[in-house]
Structure 1
Amino acid sequence: MTHSPLPPLPLPALPRLIATDLDGTLLGAGGAVSTRNAVALRRAAGAGATVVLVTGRSQPRLRDVYSQLGARYLAICANGGVVYDPVEERVLACRPIAPDDVHQVRLRLRERVSEVVFAAHVECGGRVLYEPGWPGYREGGDGRSPAGPPDLAGGPVVKLQARAPGHEPEPFTALVAETVGDLVEVTRQGYRGLLEMSRRGVTKGSALATVADELGISAEDVLAFGDMPNDVPMMRWAGRSVAVANAHPEVRAAAEEVTLANVQDGVGVYLERLLDGRTRPGAATA
């Protein structure tokens, strides 16, 4: 008596929401969006998935990205501080740091690291003010690098950045978290000695959870891609998380899977295999 072969196990369904970081994850060499990544995202959106860009960038810095993507996806900017609708070109949510907390952060850090300089993203990320000493600062501002008064006044601060020349990233991150972690969220999106701070409780993960909830999508139906420590909260929250091969060790540890590097179109390769059903997503690992 012969038996029919068992049917193959079903592949995981396409997630209802795909969240991807930009720099170091979706963007490749020179900060460009590859055709392969752009097409894969459009295919996923066409198949019914909601695509959300989740980035430390402010919304003005997304114009070139949208142009290369050929689509205008909802964006979570400033590490969760802003939710931006590019179709209507308006901010849907803005979560600034309390002015007193901004003042205390700068006061405390300057007591610990006298050479630290700050930049403040104000007007819900629409404008950035820099202190003297910040790279590119010009007295009076020039549009590209607008100067800021000593108190960085200019409206509610949605993201505060700190630089300290000569300080290695990891020790500097630990020092800042120890000094002001009770006031703000401390993270970083690059390997440079640049730290970013947002309102306490505001992260990429918390913002993504809110957006998903408003769309009626649970964490189990969310797939997230990332590469740097500021991506860890959303990687831990999402039901499925994938790090690119060039990711920071913290991100690789938090992710369930690892795909190819950003310069190898890791996001696009993973999505292609998921969409085409050629193999399980895990086979796109590096």
Structure 2
Amino acid sequence: MPGTGHFCLNPCVGDNRGVNLQPTALADVPAGDIRLIVSDLDGTLLDENGQMPEELWAIVRELHDKGIVFAPASGRQYWTLLDIFDPIRDGLTVIAENGAIVMHDGEEISSLGLDYDTAAAVVRRVREQKDEGINGALVLCCQKTAYIERTDEDFTRNVIPYYHNTTQVPDLLSVISGMENGTWDDKLLKVAQFDYDDVSISAESSMGRFSHTHQYVVSGKNWADLMHVDVDKGPAVAALQRRLGVTEEQTLIFGDFLNDLGMMKHAAYSFAMANAHPQLLAAAHYVAPPNTEQGVLKVIRELVL
């Protein structure tokens, strides 16, 4: 899914399926030298309406003054995240595309690309589906921009909210072959399929056939993604820790859903939101107040500032 971390289309309030653990008493959390804070967005940092708490900007600036790195981790495009975090975009560290790419102050820290042959096969199959009457299209998600070849206004209106930096091209296969032979200067990260109807049906034949060798995720009614098999927020956090010289004992992480599970393994201070999925609540060391109560900010204020 382009916008919400690939597993949750809307803010994940209530995804704990009845599990309602009380937030950890922060006075009981041992003090530590936290140098890195990583937070998921939907269902975690954002409120129940998908809005960013205004207090965040001042808090991140205060963290920066203390030499502490704050990094959003999301399924969204890197450029989209820069726009979302525009008030603090200078020097911003970002885990984007669900971990496919990590950027620190405009510098690539790590990335895992999708192979060209698989991407080309998906493009060809989706074109066949158009001839079969399926109403959908692909987004070729790359480091510099997202490429689309379908240009009607209704389709682009569905794409732009998730991919702020989008480029229309006449032929996605030409872009893929150009990247492969070095004549097109970009790096392929994933392909995303949009379907006006049920994408789980159309994407099963275009992407699902690669699920044994790649990471294939249907993230809602209309969107599905195909990525390198090792793409995950967990390895992305580990790469960022190595780059910054930060240990797990110096890392604070927040998440709410299954695509955040990998991150929980890389932090001594791992917090699942009180509204989190049961598996995440089981994997995390601590429980933060729900996103509806600005739980991320409450924990940061109490433990770090």
Q: Same fold (TM over 0.5)?
A: yes
Cα drift, residue 238 of structure 1: 2.9
Quote the residue 2:3 is aligned against.
Answer: none
CA distance in 2, matches of 1:274, 1:108: 51
Quote the residue 1:162 is aligned against.
Answer: 193
CA distance in 2, matches of 1:9, 1:65: 34
Quote the residue 2:216 is aligned against.
Answer: 186
Q: 1:70 to 1:84 in 2, by over 3 A?
A: closer
* Structure possessing the higher radius of gyration over alpha carbons: 1
- The runs of 5 or more residues in structure 2 that have no matched partner are 1-26, 180-186
Q: 1:172 to 1:217 in 2, by over 3 A?
A: farther
Quote the residue 1:207 is aligned against.
Answer: 236
Give yes or no for the alignment of 1:128 onto 2:146: yes
Give yes or no for the alignment of 1:273 onto 2:298: no
Q: Are the counterparts in 1 of residues 114 and 228 from structure 2 also a CA contact under 8 Å? A: yes
Q: Which amino acid aligns with 1:12?
A: A
Quote the residue 1:17 is aligned against.
Answer: 36
RCO comparison, higher one (Cα < 8 Å, 6+): 2
Identity across the alignment (%): 24
Quote the residue 1:281 is aligned against.
Answer: none
Q: Which amino acid aligns with 1:77?
A: A
Q: How many residues align?
A: 261
Quote the residue 2:117 is aligned against.
Answer: 100
Q: Which amino acid aligns with 2:262?
A: P
CA distance in 2, matches of 1:247, 1:10: 19
Higher mean displacement: 94-103 or 253-262: 253-262
CA distance in 1, matches of 2:229, 2:102: 17
Q: TM-score, normalised by structure 2?
A: 0.67
Quote the residue 1:254 is aligned against.
Answer: 283
Partner deviation per Cα, 1:43-66 (whole Å, 9 max, x = no partner): 344344322222222222123333
Which of 19, 31, 43 is 2:62 aligned to? 43
Q: Are the counterparts in 1 of residues 145 and 165 from structure 2 also a CA contact under 8 Å? A: no
Q: TM-score, normalised by structure 1?
A: 0.71
Q: Are the counterparts in 2 of residues 26 and 37 from structure 1 also a CA contact under 8 Å? A: no
CA distance in 2, matches of 1:57, 1:270: 24
Give yes or no for the alignment of 1:77 onto 2:96: yes
Q: Are the counterparts in 1 of residues 146 and 165 from structure 2 also a CA contact under 8 Å? A: no
Q: 1:212 to 1:90 in 2, by over 3 A?
A: closer
Partner deviation per Cα, 1:162-187 (whole Å, 9 max, x = no partner): 23444487x99999986322332234
Q: Are the counterparts in 2 of residues 130 and 137 from structure 1 also a CA contact under 8 Å? A: no
Q: 1:218 to 1:145 in 2, by over 3 A?
A: closer
Q: Are the counterparts in 1 of residues 214 and 227 from structure 2 also a CA contact under 8 Å? A: yes
Give yes or no for the alignment of 1:243 onto 2:272: yes
Which of 70, 80, 85 is 1:61 aligned to? 80
Q: 1:128 to 1:249 in 2, by over 3 A?
A: farther
Q: Which amino acid aligns with 2:141?
A: H
Quote the residue 1:282 is aligned against.
Answer: none
Q: Are the counterparts in 1 of residues 238 and 266 from structure 2 also a CA contact under 8 Å? A: yes
Cα drift, residue 99 of structure 1: 0.2
CA distance in 2, matches of 1:39, 1:209: 27
* Aligned-partner SS, 1:97: coil
CA distance in 1, matches of 2:74, 2:147: 19
Q: 1:59 to 1:146 in 2, by over 3 A?
A: same
Task: Please give the root-mean-square deviation of Cα atoms over the aligned residues, in Å.
Answer: 3.9
Higher mean displacement: 154-163 or 26-35: 26-35
CA distance in 2, matches of 1:233, 1:110: 34
- The runs of 5 or more residues in structure 1 that have no matched partner are 1-7, 277-286
CA distance in 1, matches of 2:286, 2:207: 28
